[in-house]
A and B are shown apart, each in its own frame.
Chain A
Amino acid sequence: MATAAQIKKGYIDFVLTHDEKPKSVYSFVKKLKLTEADFYAFYASFESIEKMIWFELTVETIDEIQKQELWQQYSSREKMLSFFYSYVELLKSHRSFVIYSLKSHGKRLSTPEVLSGAKPIFENFAEQLINEGLESGELAERKYFSKRYKDALWVQYAFILNFWITDDSAGFEKTDEAIEKGIQVTFDLFQRSPIDNLFEYGKFLAQNGKLKEKMGF
């Protein structure tokens, strides 16, 4: 009986051995002693296998961290840190595949196709954390901008992932630093800052300046 897991395993094995994807679905399933119908019952293409793997890794991480005892005590900032630490830990056991998958898609500015399944999951998760943070007052509500917070976190996601695949420090300690510092800075920016106060003061002056004119002073 063909299963999705069997196909996935076979595919990972193939790309890691050959450093490229199989020439065709036909040749690939033949090696696994499956039919093409078996393959298409689960996946539409090779890309969709990769997409699925990324999707699963991301979902697994989010499920995993929410089970941690400390999760409830964490602030939004800490929850996001926790996600990334657990994520790179999980990815470690799939490092070869991760490197293959990201590198084979080259350096393009847009999100690689293989991450298109993981992205909404991550963004959804990020949005949840942001909303929690906005509600508790941990993060600053800003017109237009607070809707974009999750984009900043997606940029961090991409940065951390890229950092990790080229990290050669022992135990990927540099990645830990990149996460700690990057997420802290990002969340510092989400917090209420002197810029907010300055902006509001400017607004106040502009409004009250006009008021003066109207009153003829």
Chain B
Amino acid sequence: MKIQESMPTTKVERSAKFVKTGFQIGGNYIKHYSKKIFNPDLSRDELNEDNASDIYNSLSELKGSALKIAQMLSMDKNILPRAYVDKFTQSQYNAPPLSGPLIVRTFSKSFGKSPEKIFDKFTIKSTHAASIGQVHEAELNGKKLAVKIQYPGVGDSISSDLKLVKPFAFRLLGMTEKELNIYIKEVEERLLEETDYELEVRRSIQFSEACKDLANVVFPSYYPELSSSRIITMDWLEGMHLKEFLQTNPSQALKNKIGQALWDFYNFQQHELRAVHADPHPGNFLITKDDQLGVIDFGCIKEMPTDFYHPFFSLTSTDLFEDKEATIDAFRQLEMILPNDNEAQIEFYYKAYKEMISLFAKPYVNSVFDFSKKDFFDELYAYGEKITKMPEFKQARGVKHFIYINRTNFGLYNILHELQATVRTDTFKPQLH
């Protein structure tokens, strides 16, 4: 990866960065169409590839919330063409680090002491970046700790970054500003929550407590007394990230075990807690030495209100689809069919969304599902590609809760696919009473 020399700071500079990207994308289209004159068979893949790498390059220089948005978009493989996704997933790693003195400064502000006075050992060089912060290794009373420090000013730049990212979202998702605003606001709320480290510590403790009986899932302990609005201290979990884990050629049984732990972790939260860890990117998980799934980040939690949970999961896990009227009724509650739609539109969206949700619910149909099957994912992508090309889907539909719930579940499916795991999908079922 290229070494980043400086980070654009002011809004003007950030805008300039985005404008540049805009031009480049324009340029890529010109390149594409001029090539096409000579070679009519040229596929759009190359164009998508070019666009994705330009967008990615400029987003990764922005750090903070723009990086987060890149991650976010990378989750929706169902919406974005594959080339975008591959580039975006790179944004989950690497961002330029904070200077040593600023780390010391952050500590003295929070605790009135420098880190080496708080911990027995503190490594001033960060071990890795965590999109809105960076992680350091520390030791106290013989215990190895992970200390996450937030970049200053992240909260402030989120709102302005979102404004800047909007035009790109329009282009990528093909929506109008008014339609997009509801969703942008939802994203903004979640992102701002993520900058609240005190909230994150409270939630981490609460969720790891609630999930403690799940088999093969482990959580680090959190230390509120060593945490502040900018710092989180937790146990250092030793383990491998998904990619490294897969390189060790784990047995199918082991992959299934980890996959099952993941499935249980998510579905327990969705159906028992009605609030879910909504950031299922591989960087948030570790596979420990004794083959457990370690969960290390509770920054993003999505709560599901009943008026969303009930209609949505009735669709996925009951035989509601048999009853067309009831199905349309559920679609209306979820704003997938709007009050002003005419007969033809109702029919169209009924069919389209039925297809989409049936796809989504496929893993739930039988009690066991094999996520290694390429067919299922090809079908998902193909469906995603198809709807991006349909003019009917230029208009935004669906309540705002879909953003994070889709991201969570498709994210989960993707990880399970990468794991090539077969899991029991009937362990924690939707509860519809």
Give the B-binding residues of A (Cβ under 8 A).
Answer: 68-70, 73-74, 77-79, 81-82, 85, 89, 169, 171, 173-174, 176-177, 179-181, 184-185, 188
Contact = CB atoms under 8 A, between A and B. Distances in A.
B9 A181 contact: yes
Contact of B99 (A68, A180, A185): A180
B101 A81 contact: yes
A149 to B, nearest CB: 18
Interface in B325-368: none
A184 B99 contact: yes
Contacts of B156: 169, 174
A174 B100 contact: no
A188 B5 contact: yes
Contact of B100 (A78, A171, A181, A185): A78
Contact of B101 (A69, A85, A181): A85
A205 to B, nearest CB: 26
Interface stretch (B108-116, B135-143, B286-294, B415-423): B108-116
23 contacts: A68-B114, A70-B114, A74-B101, A78-B99, A78-B100, A78-B101, A79-B101, A81-B99, A82-B101, A82-B104, A169-B156, A171-B109, A173-B152, A176-B105, A176-B152, A176-B153, A177-B9, A180-B102, A180-B152, A181-B7, A181-B9, A184-B99, A188-B6
Contacts of A70: 100, 104, 114, 116, 124
Given A85-B101, A85-B105, A177-B153, 15 more contacts: A68-B104, A69-B114, A70-B100, A70-B114, A70-B116, A79-B101, A81-B99, A81-B100, A81-B101, A82-B100, A174-B153, A174-B156, A177-B9, A180-B99, A184-B99
A184 B100 contact: no
B319 to A, nearest CB: 54
B3 to A, nearest CB: 12
Given A69-B116, A177-B152, A185 B101 contact: no
A84 to B, nearest CB: 8
Contacts of B7: 181
Nearest to B99: A81
Contacts, number: 56
A75 to B, nearest CB: 9
A184 B101 CA distance: 12
Given A89-B108, A181-B9, A188-B5, A81 B124 contact: no
Contact of B124 (A73, A77, A184, A185): A73
Given A70-B116, A78-B101, A185 B6 contact: yes
Contacts of B99: 77-78, 81, 180, 184
B98 interface: yes
Report, nearest first, the 9 A-B pairs whose CB atoms are least far apart: A82-B101, A81-B101, A85-B105, A177-B153, A176-B152, A181-B9, A78-B100, A81-B99, A173-B152
A185 B124 CA distance: 21
A74 B153 contact: no
Interface in B47-104: 98-102, 104
B113 to A, nearest CB: 12
A89 B156 CA distance: 22
B101 to A, nearest CB: 4
A2 to B, nearest CB: 34
Select the residue from B6, B7, B99, B109 with max chain A CB neighbours within 10 A.
B99
A100 to B, nearest CB: 24
Contact of A81 (B6, B9, B102, B109): B102
Contacts of A184: 6, 99
B2 to A, nearest CB: 14
A57 B114 CA distance: 20
Nearest to A74: B100
A163 to B, nearest CB: 13
Contacts of A73: 100, 124
Nearest to A92: B109
Contacts of A78: 99-101
Nearest to A81: B101
B9 to A, nearest CB: 5
Nearest to A175: B152
A78 B125 CA distance: 12
Contacts of A181: 7, 9
B98 A180 contact: yes
Nearest to A65: B101
A81 B171 CA distance: 41
B102 A176 contact: yes
A48 to B, nearest CB: 32
A81 B116 CA distance: 18
Contacts of B124: 70, 73
A181 B152 CA distance: 11
A171 B112 CA distance: 13
Contacts of B98: 180
Contact of B153 (A69, A79, A173): A173
Contacts of A173: 152-153
A184 B8 CA distance: 12
Select the residue from A69, A73, A85, A188 with max chain B CB neighbours within 10 A.
A85
Interface string B109-152: 10000101000000010000000000000000000000000001
Nearest to A193: B5
Nearest to B100: A78
B73 to A, nearest CB: 26
A70 B117 CA distance: 11
Nearest to B109: A171
A50 B104 CA distance: 30
Nearest to A180: B102
A209 B116 CA distance: 58
Contacts of B116: 69-70
Contacts of A69: 114, 116
Contacts of A176: 102, 105, 152-153
Nearest to B10: A181
